[in-house]
Amino acid sequence: MIEVKNVTKIFKTKNGELTAVDHVNLSIQKGEIFGIIGYSGAGKSTLIRLLNGLEKPTSGSVIVNGLEISSIKGKELRLARQKISMIFQHFNLLWSRTVAENIAFPLEIAGVPKEEREKRVHELIELVGLSGRADAYPSQLSGGQKQRVGIARALANNPEVLLCDEATSALDPETTDSILRLLSDINQRLGLTIVLITHEMHVIRKICHRVAVMEAGRVVEQGDVLEVFQNPQAEITKNFVMQVSDSRESKESIEHILKNYPSGKLVKLIFVGNTTERPIISYLIKEFQLDINILHGNISQTVNGSYGTLIVQLDGDSENVEKALEKLKSMNIKTEVITND
């Protein structure tokens, strides 16, 4: 659906050249929700603008559904953009227009007849959960409702791709979750390809199938969300995973136990999928006659399954401890010995 091939974008500034996107390669499949995460200045906003032709690459190519967006212009580009919609952090609504009129705006531009336009607007208002608010103005809406209008407007021309530029950053956590549920529902119902940029790993974890991590204009890591959570490689990815896995708390727990309970072996267990639901601790205690002290645990849900970590202190016969670790590995539970006795 989307191919980004060796794309670089360089801006000329008064202080010299600025490389915003640096030799990026991405392949996004039809119907998936693809997340791009990075801190401010990472280049993710520039990258998403390259996907709909708002920016042209300095080198490389951007292909969307077989059409090279990076090389077309004029009427051809305008028609292509009708199939590549975008929603924004600050909604970008027309404040003098009602909800229905905001949603109808792109249909007016496209020359859709009034009767057909009104029917489509009604469908979209129902789809995004704004029944009864058609005649309200943006000033009368909550942040979440404004973003729902933005989503409905973006869907007006039946796009094939929906770009989300920090679409939940201005919202509170509860509203963010409701908007993410709506996007996930739209993805499933319409088979819409969604590309979502954010600086929050919570957003990636909630709805994305795959993720690319950006730093200083480069993609430093990419893959299935569950795999990235399970085994982050780049330091920045580890920091993002820490946002939703309470690793800081676990670090404090480790320091505390090392100081106060120096015996035994400290082990981090990593569970993926169905292994998160097994009664592992009780099994180890019974099977290997171990004393087990649970220091920290966390389970996160992703689109592709559950990911959990558990930090424990194993105390008992050293041979039994080693047997227990081998047994865990045979059960597809990754183990990481943090310290030895």
Task: List pLDDT tens digits, range 216-261.
Answer: 999 999 999 988 887 888 999 988 887 776 554 556 666 766 676 6
Supply the pLDDT for residue 71.
Answer: 87
Residues 117 and 29 in one domain: yes
Looking up residue 154, the CATH number of its domain turns out to be 3.40.50.300
Contact between 33 and 209 under an 8 Å Cβ cutoff? The reply is yes
237 and 192 housed in the same domain: yes
Are residue 224 and residue 111 in the same domain, yes or no?
yes
Residue 20 and residue 35 in one domain: yes
Number of domain units in the chain? 2
Q: What is the mean pLDDT of residues 277-305?
A: 81
Same domain, 218 and 290: no
Concatenate the DSSP letters of all residues of 124-148 into one string: HHHHTT-TT-TT--GGGS-HHHHHH
Rg (CA), the chain: 24
- Say whether both 146 and 275 belong to one domain: no
Q: Same domain, yes or no, for 51 and 122? A: yes
Give the pLDDT of residue 240.
87
Residue 272 · residue 259 · CB < 8 Å: no
Residues 216 and 316 in one domain: no
Mean local confidence (pLDDT), 281-294: 88
> Does residue 129 sit in the same domain as residue 10?
yes
Total residues found in the chain within this entry: 341
What is the CATH classification number for the domain harbouring 287? 3.30.70.260
Neighbouring residues of 89: CB distance < 8 A, sequence distance ≥ 6: 165, 166, 167, 169, 170
Residue that is last in its domain, among 207, 226, 243: 243
pTM over 0.85, yes/no? no
Mean pLDDT over the full length of the chain? 88
Single residue among 225, 243, 261 that ends a domain in this structure: 243
CB-based contacts of 71, cutoff 8 Å, min separation 6: 61
* Same domain, yes or no: 97 and 172: yes
Q: Are residues 299 and 216 in the same domain?
A: no
| Whether the Cβ atoms of residue 138 and residue 102 lie closer than 8 Å to each other | yes
User: Among 243, 272, 296, where does a domain finish?
Assistant: 243
Q: Are strands 33-37 and 193-198 parallel, antiparallel or unpaired?
A: parallel
Domain range for 94: 2-243
Tell whether 53 and 97 lie within a shared domain: yes
How many CA atoms does the CB half-sphere of 219 hold within 13 Å?
Answer: 19
